[in-house]
Amino acid sequence: MGKRSTRVIPQGIARALPGWKFLRAASGKFGLLLVALVALILLSPLLIQNERWAAATSLCSASVLVAGLHAAKPGRGILALGLALALLDFGIGRLAMSLGTRWLLVCEALLWLTTLLYVTATILEAIFEIPMVTVETLQAALCVYLLIGLLGTFVLTLIELTLPGSFEATGGVSISWGAGRSSATSLMQMLSLSYAALSTVGSTAISPANAFASNAVSLEAMVGQIYLVVVVARLVGIESGSAMQPTRETAA
């Protein structure tokens, strides 16, 4: 009787909540990272328009760090490291906003770049080692694509921090990294520019102001397109191989 009831309950929930499959797709280590990345991307324009969203954006940023490390290498130790890095990032960010010190922002960008490179490389390696395509595989592939955009955000940020004036806002206004919320707003503008380049949309509130910055944005767009082609080809190849395997076994 107990087993019977456990089968009926999920079916009833499925009928009552049509979106339950979406919730299942958002579960797991890659699903949590995917949700955190999407939330950060969606909240970034709100921070630019209204600084009251700063706390929610900071929470999403911390979630990306923790969920990213957990997705790359699940375990209590790596989870503790993710929480420590999130606290360190928060502390550096608050100091940078209070003091308006550029080198603190450089340290924060380097922290993110190091972590994101490790997470992206580890997940990408897992994608190319999988024997079959599952929901988790698709989640991982989407995570890597969004992580490329986040990596691009901090690369562009480093360019602007080390070569001031590389990017400009609408109307030729320079990007500001001073004290207060201006640095957080500028970072979110870089994030919007990065994902616009990755998705080849191309229209944002800021744009490259010199050839070096323009080439960096173009390079990110090319990396995104190459990634899509290679990963789609890999997943299609795995799926085709899985479909042909039963035929070969039958013929034998």
End-to-end CA distance of the chain: 43
Looking at the domain assignment, is residue 7 inside a domain?
Answer: no
Closest CA to 197 of 213, 183, 175, 177: 213
One digit per residue, the tens of pLDDT, for the chain of length 252 reads: 444 433 333 444 444 444 445 455 566 889 999 999 999 888 877 766 666 777 777 888 889 999 999 999 888 888 899 999 999 988 887 887 777 678 888 898 999 999 999 999 999 998 888 888 888 888 999 999 999 999 999 999 999 988 888 888 776 556 777 655 667 778 888 888 899 999 887 667 788 888 999 999 999 999 999 999 999 888 888 777 665 555 544 445
Supply the pLDDT for residue 10: 44
252 within some domain: no
Q: Is residue 8 part of a domain?
A: no
Task: Report the C-alpha gap between 42 and 164 in whole angstroms.
Answer: 27
As a whole number of angstroms, the distance between CA 37 and CA 153 comes to 13
- Would residue 36 count as lying in a domain? yes
Residue 127 and residue 231 in contact, taking contact as beta carbons nearer than 8 Å: yes
The Cα 92–Cα 201 span in angstroms is 32
Q: Is 70 a domain residue?
A: yes
Give me the number of domains the chain comprises: 1
Q: Is residue 77 part of a domain?
A: yes
pTM of the model: 0.82
Kindly state whether residue 6 falls inside one of the protein's structural domains. no
Asked if 62 and 85 count as a contact pair (C-beta separation under 8 A), the reply is no
Range of the domain at 72: 22-243
Residue 16: inside a domain, yes or no? Answer: no
Task: Provide the pLDDT for residue 156.
Answer: 93
